[in-house]
Chains A and B, each alone.
Chain A
Amino acid sequence: MIKIHDLNAYYDDFHVLKNVSLEVGKGEVAVMLGPNGHGKSTVLKSICGLVEKVTGNITWSGEEIIGLGAEKLVNKGITYIAENRELFPEMTVMENLKLGAYSQSARPHEKENLEKVFSLFPRLADRRKQLASTMSGGEARMLAIARGLMSNADFLAIDEPSLGLQPNLRDEVARIIKEINTQGMTVLVVEQNIPQITELADKLYVLEEGKISFEGSREEALGDDHLKEIFLGM
Chain B
Amino acid sequence: MFIEIIDVIISGLINGSVYALMAVGLTLIYGVSKAFNFAYGSFYSMGGYIAFLLFGISFFNNYLIVFCLAAPVLLIFGFFIEKLLVAPLRKRDDWEVKVMMITLGLALFLDNSYQVVFGARMKSLPSILEGSFEMGEFILSYQDVVIFIFSLGGILIFRWFLNNTRTGMSVRAVAQNPAGAQIVGIPKEFVFAATFAISTVMVGMGGILLAQKYFITPAGGWDILVKAWVITAFGGMGSIKGGLYAAFIVGMLEAFVGWYFGMTWTLIALFAVLLTTLAVRPQGLMGKWG
Contacts and interface: CB of A to CB of B under 8 A. Distances in A.
A82 B170 CA distance: 18
B177 interface: yes
A143 to B, nearest CB: 11
Give the secondary structure class of B's interface: helix
Given A86-B179, A86-B180, A91 B172 contact: yes
A50 interface: yes
B187 interface: yes
Contact of B177 (A75, A81, A89, A103): A89
Contacts of B152: none
A88 B176 CA distance: 6
Interface magnitude class on chain A: 20 to 34
A154 interface: no
Interface residues of B, number: 16
B185 A74 contact: yes
A100 B169 CA distance: 11
Given A88-B172, A91-B172, A151 B177 contact: no
A95 B180 CA distance: 13
Interface in A143-193: 147, 151
Interface in B158-189: 166, 169-170, 172-173, 176-177, 179-187
Contact of A88 (B180, B182, B185): B180
Nearest to A85: B180
Of B166, B176, B179, B183, most A-chain CB atoms within 10 Å: B183
B179 A99 contact: no
Contacts of A91: 169, 172-173, 176
A71 interface: yes
A60 interface: no
